Amino acid sequence: MNEYDSNRIYDLAKQIDYKKTDNHKEADCYVINTCHIREKATEKVYHDVGRIKKVFRNKKKPIVVIVGCVAQAEGEILLKEEKYIDVILGPQSYHQFNESILRIEKKSKKINYTDFEVVEKFDTLNLIKNSSSKVSSFLTIQEGCDKFCKFCVVPYTRGSEFSRSTSELLNEAKDLESNRAKEITLLGQNVNAYNHNGEKLSDLIINISKLSGIKRIRYTTSHPIDFTDDLIKAHSSCHKLMPLIHLPVQSGSNKILKSMNRKHTVEDYLELINKLKKANPLIKFSSDFIIGYPGETDYDFDLTLKLLREVEFINSYSFVFSARPGTPAAKFKKIEASVAKYRLMQFQRIAEDIKLKYKKSLINKNTTVLFENKMKNKKDEYFGRDEFSNPIIVRAKHNLEGKIRKIKIISGNQNTLFGEIIEQDETQEFAA
Ligand code: SAM
Ligand code: SF4
């Protein structure tokens, strides 16, 4: 979502004649977009500002803007502690970017905008074309969260759940299509909580799938408790909807899930997975896990490993619990850091084994790849992803950017697969 936000901030900045520079040492303005989800986020901001200060020691000071969730959560402290910062803009206030820059240019005092003005933000952005010109583009459809998992800062930094209107989203999707996008990933902190006047995520997917230039649709991140039957059905009826679902579970222990306020059990989660597989047997899953949450015993951790093995997630993103200021879990008694670290290592070893076994199973198989770009510094090599988002590199004489091709995978490791084209013509997806 920060990538989407950064692009949109740039779309705004172009209106007041600011352009990206390849030489950051000559920039007039620095924008640092931040994430507050785990620790060290604030330290990173001070570190980055320190680096800018060093570059401009004997030069005219550039305007320094901090945006995103660290700005939201720590804005006042940042302005107090680091005089080099000029502007603080929370994630729901960045439509005020241009006004802030123009005021600072006129030597205004420091600016701190952190109100939750999500409606005004999108009203402003809707007037400006999304200029992202990637084959695979992001589209934020929903922001914020009302779930209040006890470990998470999102409800405090992004505010409550808000869904953009279907008509503005269709317009933006058409802009992306006309900019050469072939794939759109719909984004939201709780993307499947999307609901605008009764229009749900599945309705939006079906509407976007009618755009002939858009060949693939993905969405992330979905929450297990918001997975409604219409969305499950869309996975069997909409062939443009890709069969990889990122479905964070966080833990395999019901006791820990309850203490996290996740509002689902392991059994609910497995039942949902079964329903989705029934709707489309090709579907695979990736997930997020928090390891070493307060109160996690060896037994709880073993249950998480059991779930990991049972579902065989093709990608597992795991993090040691990080106490976030202001969240209820920050006050819980932490487990020993060395224990949490050791468990994370164990978890990641098993997750990597599962991933490697999966990737190896793909060798000598055919798959369908949407090519996104030519590899930098590599002649005739193109990077793309298959329906399960597996990164694949292929050698080709013709430009493959934006093309979908059937390929055979010939080798690979846990990260990247290498293949050769077996059909030169545009290939139909066979996802559902
Ligand atoms: N809304 C999504 C959901 O509930 O499934 C998750 C969004 S959150 C921005 C991304 C991931 O960061 C979470 O799934 C969780 O695993 C991780 N995360 C969030 N807060 C964390 C914390 N305090 N410590 C460690 N990991 C955390
Ligand atoms: Fe954070 Fe996701 Fe829980 Fe919302 S549902 S509080 S975004 S982890």
379 in a structural domain = yes
Cis before 228? omega within 30: no
Pair 5, 187: CB distance under 8 Å = no
Q: What is the CATH number of the domain that holds 56?
A: 3.40.50
Domain range spanning residue 422?
366-428
Q: Is 148 in the pocket of ligand 2 (CB under 6 A)?
A: yes
**CA angle (325 as vertex; 144, 71 as ends), nearest 5:** 55
**Greater model confidence, 413 or 214:** 214
Residue to mutate (ligand 1; options 288, 315, 322, 341; most atoms within 8 A of CB): 288
283 in a structural domain = no
Mean pLDDT of 341-351: 98
Protein residue whose Cα sits closest to atom 20 of ligand 1: 152
pLDDT, position 250: 98
Q: What is the CATH number of the domain that holds 397?
A: 2.40.50.140
Residue to mutate (ligand 1; options 319, 321, 343; most atoms within 8 A of CB): 319
Protein residue whose Cα sits closest to atom 3 of ligand 2: 149
- Whether 409 has a pLDDT exceeding 90, the answer reads yes
Closest ligand 1 atom, CA of 324? 23
Q: Which protein residues touch ligand 1 with a CB less than 6 Å away?
A: 37-38, 151-152, 154, 189-190, 221, 223, 248, 250, 288, 290, 319, 321-322, 324
Beta-strand relationship, 404-412 and 417-423 = antiparallel
- Whether 423 has a pLDDT exceeding 90, the answer reads no
Q: For residue 224, which ligand has an atom nearest its CA? A: 1
329 in a structural domain = no
Q: How confident is the model at residue 429 (pLDDT cuts 50, 70, 90)?
A: low
Q: Is 12 in the pocket of ligand 2 (CB under 6 A)?
A: no
The Å distance, Cα 348 to ligand 2 centre, comes to 22
SS3 state of residue 318: strand
Q: CA–CA separation, 160 vs 149, rounded Å?
A: 13
- Which of 68, 101, 117 terminates a domain? The answer is 117
The Å distance, Cα 40 to ligand 2 centre, comes to 20
Protein residue whose Cα sits closest to atom 25 of ligand 1: 321
pLDDT tens digit sequence for 14-73: 999 999 999 999 999 999 999 998 888 889 999 999 999 999 998 999 999 999 999 999
- Which of 117, 139, 162 terminates a domain? The answer is 117
Q: CA–CA separation, 392 vs 328, rounded Å?
A: 42
Provide the number of structural domains found in the chain: 2
- Whether 368 has a pLDDT exceeding 50, the answer reads yes
Closest ligand 2 atom, CA of 221? 2
The Å distance, Cα 145 to ligand 2 centre, comes to 6
Beta-strand relationship, 195-196 and 199-200 = antiparallel
112 in a structural domain = yes
Q: How confident is the model at residue 428 (pLDDT cuts 50, 70, 90)?
A: low
32 in a structural domain = yes
**What angle do helix axes 118-125 and 2-14 make, rounded to 10 degrees?**
60
- Whether 430 has a pLDDT exceeding 60, the answer reads no
pLDDT tens digit sequence for 128-150: 999 999 999 999 999 999 999 99
Closest ligand 2 atom, CA of 261? 3
Q: CA–CA separation, 273 vs 275, rounded Å?
A: 5
Mean pLDDT of 186-194: 97
Average pLDDT, the chain: 95
Number of other CB atoms surrounding residue 153 within 10 Å: 24
The Å distance, Cα 189 to ligand 2 centre, comes to 7
Q: Is the dihedral angle over the CA atoms 274, 278, 281, 283 positive or is it negative?
A: negative
- Whether 432 has a pLDDT exceeding 50, the answer reads no
